Amino acid sequence: MNIINPAHDPQDVTRTLFQDFSTWMTVSFYVVAITAIAVFAYGVWMQIAKYRRGAPDRGWKMLGHRFMTMLKEVFSQRTVRRRDKPAGHAHALIFFGFVLLFIGTSIITLDYDITGPLLGLNFWHGSFYLWFSLVLDFAGLALIAGLLFMMYRRGWLRPPKLDYARPDRNPDEPDYNRSQYRIEDWAFLWTLVIIALTGFVLAAARMVWLHADPLVWDYRWWSPVATVLAYAFKGVGLTADGGEILRLYTWWFHGILALAFIAVIPYTKAMHMLTAAGSLMFRDPLAAQRLPTVPEEAVQVGYEKVTDFSWKHLLNLDACTKCGRCHEACPAATVGLPLSPRDLVLSLREFANESQWPKLLGGDPSKQVVHGDGVNQIRPETLWACRTCMACVEICPVGIEHVPMIVQMRRHLVEEGEMDPLLQGTLQNIQKKGNSFGENKRKRARWAKDLDFEIKDARKEPVDMLWFVGDYASFDPRNQKVSQRFARILTEAGVDFGILHDGEQNAGNDVRRVGEEGLYEMLAENNIEALNGASFQSIITTDPHSYNTIRNEYPDFGARFAIEHYSSLLDRLIAQGRLSFPKTLNYRVTYHDPCHLGRFNRGFDAPRNIIRALGLDLVEMQRSGDNSFCCGAGGGRIWQADPVGVEKPSENRMHEAAQIEGLEVFVVACPKDVTMFEDALKTAGYEGRFVVKELIELVYEALGHEKREREAADVA
Amino acid sequence: MKILVPIKQVATLDEDFELRDDGRDVDPDYFDKDLNEWDEYSVEEALLIKEASSSDVEVIVVTVGPDDADEALRKCLAKGADRAVRVWDDALEESDSLAIARVLARVAEKESPDMVFAGTQSSDAAYSSTGVALAAFLDWPHAAVVSKLDYAVGADKAVFHRELEGGLLEEGEIQCPCVLTIQLGINAPRYASLRGIKQAKSKQLDELSLDDLGLSASDVGAQGSASRVRRVFVPEKGQAELIGGTAAEQAERLARIIKEMRGM
Ligand code: SF4
Ligand code: SF4
């Protein structure tokens, strides 16, 4: 089918640009356009200059692959939809609408200003033009629909994550007030809506003006929305002459507003169009799991000044869209501790800008140190409130790496010696004794003495599996019981295993996340040496924290070991029939994903498979899987006291679990979780309602051991 | 301006330990060594004054001890002390606090500091006398157990608080230079990172012998001391016992104890 009337020359089926414009008008338009582009370019240049002040980053490798991944993320809009579908879909409408309109405008410019005059090549006419009109008409409609939903969301739905309430400042402090942002958010929406609406008015006015021209009017339905609007204009009595005037004024209004929008992109929220793409492109998929190493010869460690930040982290700061997803997921912000990953990023962004801009433009280049009490500076209590639980990094739609930034800033505090006395004591214990309990090294394997069999010393005889026990499971009395049960389970399943006895030290995961890199290096080196001195096929660990650092961070120290968490091993043993359960447990349980097993290393399935194999009735909490809510122990927080009078993250979690009707057991798979939640169970007032158990304990119970033990005790 | 801070590397005991064959000390296999807790505070106090001052302040840490005491000095250097001095000679073995103070006094005369901050006591021997004896040798005024200090670099007087019995505080002023022995809690000591300790290896650490200080072997050691440890021992176990377990178990244990005591 030919969509062009044979009576018409396809060359004539187009839109005449600057139709009936005098020369001065056309020239003025070009002056405005070029100025807008210059302002835009200056802004982009300033931002790039800002990133270039940053330290190097290892992100330049595999650029092609990075670029493709970024395109996939951007065009699938996957990250924007996560945990907020409606907003994600609305954003997709805006995004695709905007992209198509942008491409459309670029095509016109290409045809009119470049290929036309330079090569004599014009293609913006005929059927291409018609399809083009149709697509852009819908793009405009999509854009408006998306924007209207966003307005409805901000104005009526008002999700709390968008209210900019800051937990890290008091209302009377100068940088508490974020109303500036709110104004900007609305200005952004309104500007785009007005640009899109005036685009339609303009097209409709042109149609009314030129309705006598069959080259325009016969093809009107290729712009359906504009056409409907044109009928409406005619309906209210707009004449051709009126249409001409309306078209002229709207043309200028629309044109100038659109150009002004382009000009301010690098200075406003709109900047995320560029920075988010850059941030996603250079994102490190293991940003929280594998922290940056410090070169041995480095004189200075961590982030003290803006210029110590890697250029990527500076770019990250500008990518934040203030979507609040991280703020909502953060355990510290949730319970009202003085940290919100969003506000941290925004404060640093403002600070970086201020330190970059010349005095003339409101900057203050003398401000360089990001730590402190001043406006937009980061306070130590903010940094220490972080549990490095990765909830922020995991959900951030634009790939911002809060955790390494926070740890880098902590590294500076550690070098300055500024930290909680309790934490100092623990670090000193670890320095001296290799464990956080301050116990003698020789006592590490004492828990194994109560078993009726010997656990092999992997340093002395070869074993299949080396069990890396970890501090809590070795020294904490409650967790020692779990360790003993695990040893029995392994023996029952016929696994050939051993431990390092007093050769094992704290694996260093949390020491590193505190920011004590020197101590971490020492621990990693000592453990690697001990592991290299033992003979085994693979490592198994009951401690998700050790699991993470041995798996993801030891390779940076030249040691690659096959390691798994006990849950995947047990899952396999059950599947192979090497563990069978004479007893079915029928408790109603819920399962808490430990950060370092779940979010960090995506071990979501194995524990659930085991739970199902035991016959338990698993009811999930609202926040589970990748959205699991941290127990509050991470990042060395288990070695510090939480402030009194503030709810603990672990208590918050208990309240969530308690909503499950008839809950009997709160199942965990991490020794630190046992400690944190058993404590919170009491302080939150649920003692007697349900209990906290390690998954190992349930497996052990289902093996029928508990009963046998009780019988043995009764006989005695 | 100089502040001299005498420090000590102390022994921290393990839960289980054994005594040395001569019974006069713990077997060194059973203790770790660390910077004396009180000295963390005296060093911190000197560093705070240094950091608050606009003029140059040099903080010098000094210890009397064998080469492994360098570890304690390095910790102080990592925290920010400018340089360290360690005095040792085998003749110093067996010195009491008086003999040690005699050595420190010579170091002080050599360095001529504006202030000396010592820890109130050491956590292992706990005589609380080295700092005070040092003041006596120097013939300087001193204040002991200082829990708050108000001192500006170059001032000829310092104002301090001391803790007395019954929660009472004494506020006093003292002529400078002087020796102050510093109490726990006067400040919040900073952490010495492992990296910092490693990097402190590049800071100046002088080793002095008795000769360098114009002392002879008879000034120190057992000969130069006024007191001597005869033996250390663990007192007989007391008769207290915490009974655990279920109510039934507790009752049973109690019954057995009563029977034992009545010789049944
Ligand atoms: S890592 Fe966890 S605690 Fe830290 S800022 Fe992110 S969400 Fe909050
Ligand atoms: S940091 Fe990321 S998740 Fe947090 S508000 Fe900014 S864009 Fe959203």
Question: Across residues A564-576, what is the average pLDDT?
Answer: 97
Eight-state DSSP code of residue A172: T
Structure confidence at residue A710 (pLDDT): 62
Question: Across residues A16-35, what is the average pLDDT?
Answer: 94
Angle between helices A649-658 and A671-683 (to 10 degrees): 70
What's the order of all strands across the beta sheet hosting A497-499? A456-457, A497-499, A465-468, A538-541, A563-565
Report in angstroms the alpha-carbon separations of A394 from A192, A312, A389, A521, A662: 30, 17, 9, 26, 32
Q: Is the pLDDT of residue A168 over 60?
A: yes
Report in angstroms the alpha-carbon separations of B219 from A561, A653, B209, B222: 59, 67, 13, 9
Do A372 and A306 belong together in one domain?
A: yes
User: 3-state DSSP call for residue A378?
Assistant: strand
The residue length of chain A stands at 716
Q: Mind telling me how many Å the CA of A160 is from chain B's nearest CA?
A: 39
Task: Please name the residue that has the structure tokens 């000095």.
Answer: B73
CA dihedral A208, A214, A219, A221 (to 10 degrees): 40
Structure confidence at residue A706 (pLDDT): 65
| Per-residue H/E/C for A341-372 | HHHHHHHHHHHHHHHHCCHHHCCCCCCCECEC
Structure confidence at residue A208 (pLDDT): 97
Which residue of A414, A443, A516 is the best one to mutate when testing the B interface, meaning the one whose CB has the most B CBs within 10 A? Answer: A414
Reported confidence tier of residue A423, pLDDT bands at 50, 70, 90: very high
Instruction: Evaluate whether A645 touches A453 at the Cβ level (below 8 Å).
Output: no
Contact state of A518 with B190 under an 8 Å Cβ cutoff: no
Q: Mind telling me how many Å the CA of A528 is from chain B's nearest CA?
A: 19
Instruction: Evaluate whether A569 touches A593 at the Cβ level (below 8 Å).
Output: no
Do A307 and A233 belong together in one domain?
A: no
| Per-residue H/E/C for chain B | CEEEEECCEEEEECCCCCECCCCCCECHHHEEEEECHHHHHHHHHHHHHHHHCCCCCEEEEEEECCHHHHHHHHHHHHHCCCEEEEECCHHHCCCCHHHHHHHHHHHHHHHCCCEEEEECCCCCCCCCCHHHHHHHHHCCCEEEEEEEEECCCCCCEEEEEEECHHHCEEEEEEECCCEEEECCCCCCCCCCCHHHHHHHHHCCEEEECCHHHCCCHHHCHHHHCCCCCCCCCCCCCCCCCCCCCCHHHHHHHHHHHHHHHCCC
Which atom belonging to ligand 2 lies closest to the Cα atom of A392?
3
Q: Is residue A701 part of a domain?
A: yes
Structure confidence at residue A711 (pLDDT): 61
Do A344 and A436 belong together in one domain?
A: no
Dihedrals phi, psi of A595, to nearest 5 degrees: -50, -50
**Would you put residue A438 in left (φ > 0), alpha (ψ -120 to 50) or beta?**
left
Q: Is residue A264 part of a domain?
A: yes
Q: Mind telling me how many Å the CA of B25 is from chain A's nearest CA?
A: 20
Token representation of residue A591: 């399962």
Structure confidence at residue A713 (pLDDT): 60
pLDDT digits (tens, 9 = 90+) for A609-641: 999 999 999 999 999 999 999 999 999 999 999
Q: Is the pLDDT of residue B249 over 90?
A: no
* Closest to A399 measured CA to CA, from A18, A67, A73, A681: A73
Q: Is residue B64 part of a domain?
A: yes
Do A250 and A339 belong together in one domain?
A: no
Number of domains within chain B: 1
Q: With beta carbons under 8 A apart, name residues in chain B contacting A522.
A: 194
Q: Is residue A26 part of a domain?
A: yes
Token representation of residue A198: 């005036």
Q: Is residue B225 part of a domain?
A: no
Structure confidence at residue A94 (pLDDT): 98
Structure confidence at residue A705 (pLDDT): 74
Which of A415, A440, A469 is the endpoint of a domain?
A415
CA dihedral B148, B153, B155, B159 (to 10 degrees): 0
Contact state of B32 with A427 under an 8 Å Cβ cutoff: no
d(CA A513, CA A289): 10
Q: Is A665 exposed, middle or buried (0-12, 13-18, 19+ CB in 10 A)?
A: buried
Eight-state DSSP code of residue A110: I
Q: Work out whether strand B58-64 and strand B83-87 pair parallel, antiparallel, or are unpaired.
A: parallel
Do A246 and A338 belong together in one domain?
A: no
* pLDDT, averaged across chain A: 95
Which of A226, A251, A279 is the endpoint of a domain?
A279
Do A347 and A433 belong together in one domain?
A: no
d(CA A290, CA A284): 9
Structure confidence at residue B244 (pLDDT): 81
Question: Across residues A436-448, what is the average pLDDT?
Answer: 93
User: 3-state DSSP call for residue A665?
Assistant: strand
* Closest to A557 measured CA to CA, from A508, A523, A524: A524
Residue A410 sits in a domain whose CATH number is: 1.10.1060
Task: Please name the residue that has the structure tokens 């250097």.
Answer: B77
Q: With beta carbons under 8 A apart, name residues in chain A contacting B196.
A: 415, 417, 518
Which of A390, A415, A440 is the endpoint of a domain?
A415
* Closest to A546 measured CA to CA, from A469, A438, A436, A439: A469
Instruction: Evaluate whether A466 touches A502 at the Cβ level (below 8 Å).
Output: no
Instruction: Evaluate whether B174 touches B205 at the Cβ level (below 8 Å).
Output: no
Question: Across residues A366-382, what is the average pLDDT?
Answer: 95
Distance B188 CA to ligand 2 centre (A): 36
Percent of chain A with pLDDT over 70: 98
Do A328 and A181 belong together in one domain?
A: no
Ligand in closest contact with the CA of A333? 1
- The residue segments making up the domain with residue B206 are 2-219
Nearest alpha carbon, ligand 1 atom 6: A392
Pick the residue with more confidence: A298 or B239? A298
Dihedrals phi, psi of B60, to nearest 5 degrees: -115, 125
Instruction: Return the amino acid letter for A174.
Output: P
- The residue segments making up the domain with residue A223 are 22-52+60-166+173-279
Q: Is residue B237 part of a domain?
A: no
Q: Is residue A591 part of a domain?
A: yes
Q: Is residue A131 part of a domain?
A: yes
Question: Across residues A179-202, what is the average pLDDT?
Answer: 96
Do A393 and A454 belong together in one domain?
A: no
pLDDT digits (tens, 9 = 90+) for A314-360: 999 999 999 999 999 999 999 999 999 999 999 999 999 999 887 87
d(CA A334, CA A324): 12
d(CA B185, CA B66): 29
Q: Is residue B234 part of a domain?
A: no
- Closest-approach residue (CA) in chain B for A425: B191
Distance A114 CA to ligand 1 centre (A): 50
What's the order of all strands across the beta sheet hosting A691-694? A617-618, A588-591, A665-668, A691-694
Radius of gyration of chain A (CA): 31
d(CA A527, CA A693): 29
What's the order of all strands across the beta sheet hosting B2-6? B169-175, B157-163, B142-150, B179-182, B115-119, B2-6, B58-64, B83-87, B205-208
Ligand in closest contact with the CA of A392? 1
* pLDDT, averaged across chain B: 93
Beta strand segments in A634-687, E: 665-668
Q: With beta carbons under 8 A apart, name residues in chain A contacting B197.
A: 518
Do A153 and A183 belong together in one domain?
A: yes
Reported confidence tier of residue A712, pLDDT bands at 50, 70, 90: low
pLDDT digits (tens, 9 = 90+) for B44-101: 999 999 999 999 999 999 999 999 999 999 999 999 999 999 999 999 999 999 999 9
Structure confidence at residue B262 (pLDDT): 77
Q: Is the pLDDT of residue B17 over 90?
A: no
Reported confidence tier of residue A707, pLDDT bands at 50, 70, 90: low
Which residue of B36, B40, B75, B195 is the best one to mutate when testing the A interface, meaning the one whose CB has the most A CBs within 10 A? Answer: B195
Percent of chain B with pLDDT over 90: 76
Q: Is residue B235 part of a domain?
A: no
Q: Is residue B101 part of a domain?
A: yes
Q: List, in order, residues 6 or more apart from B187 with CB less than 8 Å away.
A: B41, B44, B45, B48
Do A236 and A142 belong together in one domain?
A: yes
Q: Is residue B158 part of a domain?
A: yes
pLDDT digits (tens, 9 = 90+) for A193-204: 999 999 999 999
Q: Is residue A11 part of a domain?
A: no
Do A274 and A294 belong together in one domain?
A: no
Reported confidence tier of residue A1, pLDDT bands at 50, 70, 90: low
Task: Please name the residue that has the structure tokens 């200003």.
Answer: A113
Of the partner residues A415, A427, A432, the one whose CB lies closest to the CB of residue B34: A432
In which element (H, E) is residue A692 found? strand A691-694
- Positive or negative: CA dihedral A507, A508, A509, A510: positive
Distance A393 CA to ligand 1 centre (A): 8
Distance A328 CA to ligand 2 centre (A): 10
- Closest-approach residue (CA) in chain A for B14: A440
Residue B161 sits in a domain whose CATH number is: 3.40.50.620
* Closest to A403 measured CA to CA, from A385, A391, A383, A388: A388
Q: Is residue B68 part of a domain?
A: yes
Number of domains within chain A: 3
**Would you put residue B76 in left (φ > 0), alpha (ψ -120 to 50) or beta?**
alpha
Instruction: Evaluate whether A549 touches A517 at the Cβ level (below 8 Å).
Output: no
Q: With beta carbons under 8 A apart, name residues in chain B contacting A419.
A: 191
Q: Work out whether strand A617-618 and strand A588-591 pair parallel, antiparallel, or are unpaired.
A: parallel
Judged by CB atoms within 8 Å, which residues 14-53 of B form the interface with A? 14-15, 32, 34
- Largest interatomic CA distance in chain A: 108
Pick the residue with more confidence: B3 or A122? B3
Q: Is residue A6 part of a domain?
A: no
Do A404 and A452 belong together in one domain?
A: no
Q: Is residue A7 part of a domain?
A: no
Reported confidence tier of residue A488, pLDDT bands at 50, 70, 90: very high
Radius of gyration of chain B (CA): 22
- Positive or negative: CA dihedral A668, A672, A678, A680: negative
d(CA B46, CA B61): 10
Structure confidence at residue B237 (pLDDT): 74
Ligand 2 pocket mutation, candidates A269, A279, A398, criterion most atoms within 8 A of CB: A398
Q: How far apart are the first and last CA of chain A?
A: 95
Structure confidence at residue A296 (pLDDT): 83
Structure confidence at residue A478 (pLDDT): 96
